[in-house]
Chain A
Amino acid sequence: MVAELVDYIMSNKILLGISKGVVVGLFIILYASLMVLFLTWVERKVAARIHVRYGPNRTGPYGLLQPLADGAKLIQKEDIIPYAADRLIFTLAPVFAFAFAVLPFAAMPLADGLILADLNVALLYIIALASLSIIPVIMAGWASNNKYSLLGAMRAAALNLSYEIPLVLSIMGVVLVVGSLNVFDIVKYQTEYIFGIIPKWIIILQPLGFFVFFVASIAEMSRIPFDMPESESELIAGFHTEYSGMKFAMLLFAEYIHMVFGSMLAVLLFFGGWHLPGLGYVLSFLENFLSGFAYTVVKWAIQFGVIVAKALAIMFVLMWIRMTLPRARLHSIPTFYWKYLLPLALINLGITAVAVAVVG
Chain B
Amino acid sequence: MSERRVVITGMGTINPLGHNVQDTWKALLAGKLAPSKNELFDASTFPTTFAAQVKGFDLSEHLSPASAQKHTHAGRHCKFALAAAQQAWEQSHLGDWAQLDRGRLGVYLGSGEGSLDFDKFVSLLIDAWEDGQVDTKKWPDLAFERMELYREIEQESNMVVAHLAGEFGACGPAYNVLTACAASTQAIGEAAMQVRHGLVDTVITGGAHSMVHPFGVTGFNRLTALSTRNDDAASASRPFDLTRDGFVIGEGASVLILEEYEHAKARGAEILAEIVGYGASADAFRITDQDPDGDGAATSMRAALADADIQPGQVDYISAHGTGTKQNDQVETRAMKAVFGQDASKAPPVSSAKSMLGHLIAAAGATELITCVLALRDQTLPPTANLHTPDPDCDLDYVPNEARQANVKICMSNSFGFGGQNNTIIITN
- The answer to whether A binds B is no
